A and B are shown apart, each in its own frame.
Chain A
Amino acid sequence: MSANSPSTAISQIGPRQGRRRRPAKRGQWAGWGFVGPFMVVFTFALIVPIGYAIYLSLFRQQLIGGNVFVGLTNYKAALSDAQFWAAVRRMLLFLAVQVPVMTVLALLVALALDSARLRWAPLYRLSIFLPYAVPAVVAAFMWGFIYGTQFGLVARLRSVFGGHFPDPLSSNWVLASIGNVVTWEYVGYNMLILYSALQAVPRELYEAAEIDGASQFSIIRWIKLPALRIAFVVSLIFSVIGSLQLFNEPDILHYLAPDTIPMNFTPNMYAYNLSFAGQEYNYSAAIAIVMGILTMIIAAAVQWYGRRRAA
């Protein structure tokens, strides 16, 4: 893999390209004409809110005295907030199980699609990718109704198997059940990222390996997997960020299982409910920023690990 291919690492692309080619230009500022409109909306919709969140997190709304600067008090409270950390621990557990399961599944499907041993490869590819287009809200409805003990499929299975079939929305199983919804939604998306990377491998490489007597297994181990590394890290980072931000699926399933999916089930749900049910905007902003920093650290660790392995 060439070190200066655009995909080597997201963070390397800009400066490298700037150095590699120096396009002839008329007027130094012409580029801003193209980048400017994006940056205006970007600043308004992302940069300013981030700044505002930091500002909010340093204040407290008081009955007497109004908005008071409190420094890092909200952060201290967040660090010792048992409800918040319970949500964080739950999400870390979720992440540690769901992301590997989904990624390995996506990898196996991508390898199978690339193997040229399937009869209806395009049918499989499209069908498995299709759930990505389904809104998370509808995905949560469908699976929620299937899980439900009232008119769900599971209700039917339970009446056949008696009490031996677990209730997917009970406290022991609810995290796995949400993991299943998320896996269903995104396994095809991750499969496609990996599959596209596999398709970019020159076919001659496989032929050469076969002439040298390599087995299919060694071709996968020594050609395909190394070629996938960058795409793998990219898909892993998206999945990690996605699971730490989990909101839609548990928020909707909450109405089916209010006891096992409490309002602080995920950090994001906790921050949302602090704001919109509790009006604790300042504290909620601090929680959001702590969560943002945590996410950045974990995502950076994944990327660092991926690049170190690649080096």
Chain B
Amino acid sequence: MSARKRHSVILNILMTVMLVYALLPLFWLLVNSTKTESALFSTFGLWFGGKFALFSNIHQVFTYDNGIFARWFGNTLLYVVAGAGGATLLATLAGYGMAKFDFPGKRAVFAVVLGAIAVPGTAIAVPTFLLFSNLHLTNTPWAVILPSMVSPLGFYLIWVYASEAVPTEILEAARIDGAGELRTFLVISSRLLAPGMVTVVLFTVVATWNNYFLPLIMLSTPNWYPLTVGLNDWNMQAATAGGQTVYNLVITGSLLTVIPIMAAFLYLQRYWRSGLAAGSVKQ
């Protein structure tokens, strides 16, 4: 082992500082979800204190307001499965089409998608709301799902990935054997594209699970809220006149919101790294 491979103590210390910075707020969340509302104010923020109330907090989260939290959880799942699933499917088909076919209008497609990426998504949120409102789509799940199904970044990643991962020779061989394009895609190409697709799944799942602005604008009935908008509703109760503060529920609810997405994230991220390396930034 050469000298340069030796561990650097200073570098390890600096990285540990970064690690603590990254994990400290999450540790805070974990610690404080075990506290009663009064202990939140009276005990030291970074350590356990007072009665251990995690389970009673969780119980309260699921029973408060007629158990609406479970409903928000289900809504978030619906938006993630339909939105991120749809986005991945559409982006994969389209990216593959761009990489492996020539067709009339291909350059126009490219120019339009690229141009639209540059337009800030949130800038058109209000016009989208007004448009959907005219179509009577606001305050329905469609208002959240449909815009979530568009992932220009996923489109781009699959395009780059497909042009490297799917050899044109295989497609030609399949055509000579008489396979239709869709069959070729389903049987051969989709398997070769799988690592790229997982990368897009990770992106879009994180984006839809964490989406706040779009559902905030589109939805007015708490029954359709995802977790993010619902939690902020609880958080705002403290600011409204005569509102009951439920900070312990906001904190425990946040913990319950974060755990599934982190688990999915940690599970999927190893594919992301290889997908990203093979895709957008390969030399």
CB distance from A181 to the nearest CB of B (A): 9
B28 at interface, CB cutoff 8 A: yes
Q: Is A18's CB within 8 Å of the partner chain B?
A: yes
> With A and B bound together, what is the CA distance between A50 and B235 in angstroms?
33
In the complex the two chains form, is A28's CB within 8 Å of B104's CB?
yes
Contact B235–A252 (Cβ < 8 Å): yes
Give the docked Cα–Cα distance between A210 and B7 (Å): 18
The interface residues of chain B, by DSSP majority, are classed as helix
Chain B residues, Cβ within 8 Å of A152:
45
- Residues of A with C-beta under 8 A to B168: 21, 23-24
Q: Nearest Cβ in chain A — how far from B114, in angstroms?
A: 6
Give A106 Cβ to nearest chain B Cβ, in Å: 10
Shortest distance between the CB of B97 and any CB in chain A (Å): 3
A133 and B262 contact, CB distance less than 8 A: yes
What residue of chain A has the Cβ atom nearest to residue B101's Cβ? A31
Interface assignment of A92: CB less than 8 Å from any CB of chain B: no
Distance between Cα atoms of A14 and B152 in the complex (Å): 14
Bound-state CA distance A310–B281 (Å) is: 15
Nearest chain-A residue to B86 (Cβ)?
A41
| Cβ contact within 8 Å between A13 and B160 | yes
Contact between chains at A141 and B235 (CB < 8 Å)? yes
Q: How far is the CA of A38 from the CA of B12 in the complex (A)?
A: 46
The answer to whether A35 and B11 have CB atoms under 8 Å apart is no
Of A64-72, A96-104, A164-172, A291-299, the one contacting chain B is A291-299
Contacting residues, chain A, for B172 (C-beta < 8 A): 23-24
**Contact B127 A1, beta carbon cutoff 8 Å:** no
Is A292 in contact with B120, judged by CB distance below 8 angstroms? yes
User: Which of A133, A151, A216, A300 lies at the interface centre, i.e. has the most chain B CB atoms within 10 A of its CB?
Assistant: A133
Shortest distance between the CB of A239 and any CB in chain B (Å): 13
Residue of B nearest to A230 (CB): B281
B45 to A255, Cβ gap below 8 A?
Answer: no
**Do B276 and A193 touch across chains, with their CB atoms under 8 A apart?**
yes
CA distance A35 to B150 in the complex (A): 12
Interface size on A, residues (CB 8 A): 116
Q: Which residue of B lies closest to A238 (CB)?
A: B153
Give the bracket for the number of chain B residues in contact with chain A.
Answer: 35 or more
Identify the closest chain B residue to A267 (Cβ). Answer: B123
Whether A6 pairs with B8 at a CB distance below 8 angstroms is no
Least CB distance from A192 to B in Å reads 7
- By the criterion CB–CB under 8 Å, are A245 and B235 in contact? no
Please give, as numbers and ranges, the residues of chain B lying within 8 Å of A141 by CB-CB distance. 231, 235, 250-251, 254
Q: Specify which chain A residues have a CB less than 8 angstroms from the CB of B217 in the assembled complex.
A: 272, 276
Interface string of B26-44 (1 = CB under 8 A from A): 1011001000000011001
Distance, CA A123 to CA B25, complexed state (A): 17
Give 1 or 0 for each of B108-130: 1 = CB within 8 Å of chain A CB: 01101110101111111111111
List A contacts of B191 (CB < 8 A): none
Q: Report if A128-B19 is in contact (Cβ < 8 Å); known contacts: A6-B282, A38-B155.
A: yes
The answer to whether the Cβ of A150 comes within 8 Å of any Cβ in the partner chain is yes
Query: Is B126 in contact with A271, judged by CB distance below 8 angstroms?
Result: yes
The residues of A that contact B149 with a CB separation of less than 8 Å are 41, 45
For the A-B complex with A137-B229, A295-B119 known, give 6 more contacts whose Cβ atoms are closer than 8 Å.
Answer: A18-B102, A28-B102, A38-B94, A109-B18, A200-B282, A271-B126
Q: Can you offer 12 A-B residue contacts whose CB atoms are under 8 A?
A: A5-B282, A7-B283, A31-B106, A32-B103, A34-B97, A117-B8, A117-B11, A133-B261, A136-B212, A142-B26, A201-B283, A245-B122
